[in-house]
Amino acid sequence: MLLQIEFESDIPIYLQIKNQIIRGIATGSLRLGEDLPSVRQLASDIGINFHTVNKVYTQLRQEGWVVVHRKSGVMINPELKVEKNTDYIASLEDSLSNITAEAFLRGVTKEAFFHIVEKHYAGYIKEGRE
């Protein structure tokens, strides 16, 4: 999997990496159980500080996306089952509340919005992860 970082973006680098990894899991370009590069390896590949990668892996582990295995290697959680808890639903509602309001006011119809969402969902695959 190849990560694309935009250093001039207003989105923090650690978030760009984290988002791309989660998207990678959803689209299947990262498979459950697949190893991720070591912290120093990935940092060196991208050309960033290894503390930044560390932050990503730490958050991903805390949220259950990855697990640490032998000698501090990291892999996508083979038994991935992140929660759809109330906190998440609340934050999703909040995000969509803001996003849809602006989209509506900017002339993005509900149908156009649906179309974008559908396009993305079409790219996600259900792996053998019961």
Q: Out of its own copies, DNA, none, which partner does residue 115 contact, by CB within 5 to 8 A per kind?
A: none
Phi, psi of 104 (to 5 degrees): -60, -50
The amino acid at 86: T
**Tokens, residue 43:** 């940092």
Q: Which letter does DSSP use for residue 106 in this model?
A: T
**In terms of CB distance, is 28 or 73 closer to DNA?**
73
Binds 38, which of its own copies, DNA, none (CB < 5 to 8 A, cut-off by type)?
Answer: DNA
Query: 84 is written with which tokens?
Result: 């759809």
C-beta of 35 vs 88, nearer to its own copies:
88
Binding site for its own copies (CB under 8 A): 7-10, 12-13, 19, 22-23, 25-27, 62, 67-70, 72, 80, 82-84, 88, 92-93, 95-108, 110, 113-114, 116-118, 120-121, 124
Residue whose tokens read 């503390």:
51
